[in-house]
Structure 1
């Protein structure tokens, strides 16, 4: 498929929700060895009231709930992007879940103090640790899988050029942020996972869907670099980079 056709296809795919099934045969990404959904299911089976922050289309939260030994009595989620609200509401309806809209990433959570005994999030844009501590009851637990600093650096630097690199200080800053919000850090795990793009359409769709990778991404703005990326894939068969995932396990002090 020619360059313009691949660009057009990547632009045409809807970006609603966090269902990545469209990428099958076009891109692959390794998953962290700890298994976020499995861990979430274990935690949910022990919880009575749970909140999922930045739930997206609710797909991951719903899968974790389906694996739980029992469904918590109170199931809530938040989402900042309106098109995802209906998707998440439908995904969580079988579990009695309610989805609240918030103003944006890191916004105050619309719940009373001490409402939940477990708060979770997978790939939040900016997780509100202080707010999570506020809505958790004393002794409540936290499970967050962050997109780590420098995730997919090879991809965004291919497009944007060299960027500031303070990755080495990232884990220390994250630990301090979690502790400073009033949590005891129980575990902090960090890993790199291989990502491979097999065509340019997958790259374009990924950059439109995962907005923080190249924050000012626009096809026309990056057309020349996209052309270079298209040529790279044609020559090498794919484009390889590495995502970074960090798992935060904590307990409210």
Structure 2
């Protein structure tokens, strides 16, 4: 391996080793750029808070997005998180503000520790959820708001690494049907496709290590050839643009 390739490999390995916690991608800010959808999830969540006395943030990560809304929180705020390292981060960040952080798998058939009709508002950004449990824990008239990465998002990027979506059924249509089947009334939602632009391959290394379900067993060593092909495209003047899909959904307990 020549000196230039060795230097590139070492730079990518450094990105692979870079620490990641919570749901904080500030390390690669402006290095991977995504189109913004035509809705504002945080704005929609904020608008629902004044009419809510209690709120749950499901799969809060490290509490980053929840803290963005702190000036608008209702009287009682609970957050849940299922990934143990993130639970510790979320508790460190949120407990000083009076938020209870519950360790909970949002795919679980039963949300242990959460009471029936406990929350006027449940929010969820890019996390799992159980529609039947949402119906149980929401008050009558309570609202569930979620923004999700579509299960068929970035398929073109995954294909470059011979990977496929792990969640192909995670679609707007299926989520809507699950909510209806659980007894919730759909009050809003939309499906959207935009661009996901990778400006340097090192940032992509960091991104794929942070989201290990995208390309199973990803590493610089195992996927060096594929990474090098992307680097050559960039050096040849091509942009690395892939398709990103999101959807949002709002449902109300009746």
TM-score normalised according to structure 2 size: 0.88
Quick one: which of 61, 64, 76 aligns to 1:56? 61
Q: Which residue of 1 aligns with 2:101?
A: 99
Q: Please, which runs of 5 or more residues in structure 2 have no aligned partner?
A: none
Query: SS at the partner of 1:6?
Result: helix
CA pair 22-119 structure 1, distance change in 2 beyond 3 A: same
Indicate conservation of the 8 Å contact 2:165/2:214, yes or no.
no
Indicate conservation of the 8 Å contact 2:151/2:165, yes or no.
no
Q: 1:94 Cα shift?
A: 4.8
Q: Which moved more, 1:32-41 or 1:54-63?
A: 32-41
The 1-side partners of 2:232 and 2:107 are apart by 38
Q: Deviations over 1:15-68 (max 9, x none)?
A: 2111221112322112222111111111122211100010001010111233x2
Q: Which residue of 1 aligns with 2:130?
A: 128
Quick one: which of 80, 89, 92 aligns to 1:90? 92
Q: Deviations over 1:111-148 (max 9, x none)?
A: 01111111010001x32222111111121101000111
The 2-side partners of 1:40 and 1:163 are apart by 28
Q: 1:165 Cα shift?
A: 11
Q: 1:175 Cα shift?
A: 1.6
Q: Please, which runs of 5 or more residues in structure 1 have no aligned partner?
A: none
Query: SS at the partner of 1:236?
Result: coil
How does 1:226-241 map onto structure 2 within 5 Å? Answer: 226-236=227-237, 238-241=239-242
Q: Which residue of 2 aligns with 1:176?
A: 177
Indicate conservation of the 8 Å contact 2:9/2:220, yes or no.
no
Aligned length: 247
2:63 maps to 1:77: no
The 1-side partners of 2:147 and 2:167 are apart by 21
TM-score normalised according to structure 1 size: 0.88
Q: 1:227 Cα shift?
A: 2.1
The 2-side partners of 1:165 and 1:112 are apart by 29
Q: 1:229 Cα shift?
A: 2.0
The 1-side partners of 2:201 and 2:48 are apart by 38
Q: Which residue of 2 aligns with 1:197?
A: 198
Q: Which residue of 1 aligns with 2:246?
A: 245
Q: Which residue of 2 aligns with 1:188?
A: 189
Quick one: which of 2, 8, 11 aligns to 1:6? 11
Q: Which residue of 2 aligns with 1:151?
A: 153
Q: 1:232 Cα shift?
A: 2.0
